[in-house]
Amino acid sequence: MTDLLTARKLAIKVISALVLLILVMLMCSLTGTEHISLKSVFTGTSQQGMVNTDYEIFVHVRLPRIILAAIVGAALACSGVVFQALLRNPLADPYILGISSGAGLGVIIAVISGVGWTLWGRSPIAIFAFVGAMGTVWLVWLIGRLTGKSHVTGLLLAGVVVNAFFSAVIMFLTSIAKSQQIHSTIFWLMGNMAEENFSVLWLSAGYVMAGIIALFYISPQLNALSFGIEDAKSMGINTAGTQTIAFAIAAAITAVAVSLSGLIGFVGLIVPHGVRLVFGPDHRQLLPLSGITGAIFLVAADTLARVIVAPAQLPVGVITAIVGGPFFLILLIKYTKTIGWFNK
């Protein structure tokens, strides 16, 4: 019998996880090819008329990357929790509705068109990625409603169709693009933690945090939906409304993450499962703890990507794929055994 989750127990777990996140972020900010002193960082921008190199590296190079990694990791992990609950599929991830292909299409259009303007300090690549991701969500939603299938089934089918079509368009545009343009697109698609604008970071953090809080607010309904639509209806849950709200919020924070960092796979797949194994399936604690754990995981992965082949840097998506690939295979084997594929 599991212990009853109280507000006090939840607060202790969340605060403990936040403390661990802060410690990991601090340790990772001091880790790199160039050794820096925390004491020198706190002395300010200059020392006796000279530029404080440690301060410049910490504030303008490492800290933005670490904050960005935490934002993206939290967004992808919480989105993964939501999609796995709504679809009742342990292999679901934040990109299941074709968001990745939509964002990728937006990026390659921005690169090929050669647009040079910025909006609120954001590059056209990030803006086109966000618009492409959100446009894809709207298109998938529209097609899913027109299929006449059940709400979840229609969305899944629409996501598969839209993802396949957009992937074909991306391949076509890539084939006619210049080599330099292809390099820029591929670098973004593999995950890129390059953001120095703190205004963008704080705005994105507020946006993602608001989304996670909203998802936490409907976590009791997500608990009911994880048992199935009919069971949730018998409990008095407005299943259609809850699904709509949850899908919209999860898709929106995923689009923000994609526009900030490119495509980073497996975070939304492995983190929710890891947290679920340790703390249980209750979404009241699964959502916040997955968000914090996702932030810790991606901060650590980005730090490893910075130092493992120094002075060069690996795309952070390579690190998450190396870790997530074997984990995905384990989940796949376990899931197929559960539904009886291996017993036929």
Taking CA atoms, 36 is separated from 31, 39, 43, 236, 309, in Å, by 8, 9, 12, 57, 19
Taking CA atoms, 218 is separated from 125, 224, 237, 280, in Å, by 33, 10, 11, 18
**Residue ranges of domains in the chain:** 7-343
Question: What's the whole-model pTM score?
Answer: 0.88
pLDDT at 80 (0 to 100):
92
pLDDT at 341 (0 to 100):
42
Distance CA 134, CA 256 (A): 9
pLDDT averaged over consecutive 10-residue blocks of the chain (344 residues)?
Answer: 75 95 92 78 65 80 92 94 85 79 85 65 75 87 73 76 87 79 73 80 92 95 85 85 89 88 87 89 94 96 88 86 82 64 44
pLDDT at 214 (0 to 100):
96
User: What are the two backbone dihedrals, phi and then psi, of residue 122, each rounded to the nearest 5 degrees?
Assistant: -100, 145
pLDDT at 338 (0 to 100):
58
pLDDT at 205 (0 to 100):
93
Q: Which CATH superfamily is domain 7-343 in?
A: ABC transporter involved in vitamin B12 uptake, BtuC (1.10.3470.10)
pLDDT at 343 (0 to 100):
46
CA atoms 38, 43, 44, 47: torsion sign: negative
Distance CA 150, CA 73 (A): 31
Query: Are the CB atoms for 318 and 257 separated by under 8 Å?
Result: no
Q: Quick one: which H or E segment has residue 51?
A: strand 50-51
pLDDT at 116 (0 to 100):
57
pLDDT at 163 (0 to 100):
85
pLDDT at 344 (0 to 100):
45
pLDDT at 283 (0 to 100):
93
Query: Are the CB atoms for 241 and 283 separated by under 8 Å?
Result: no
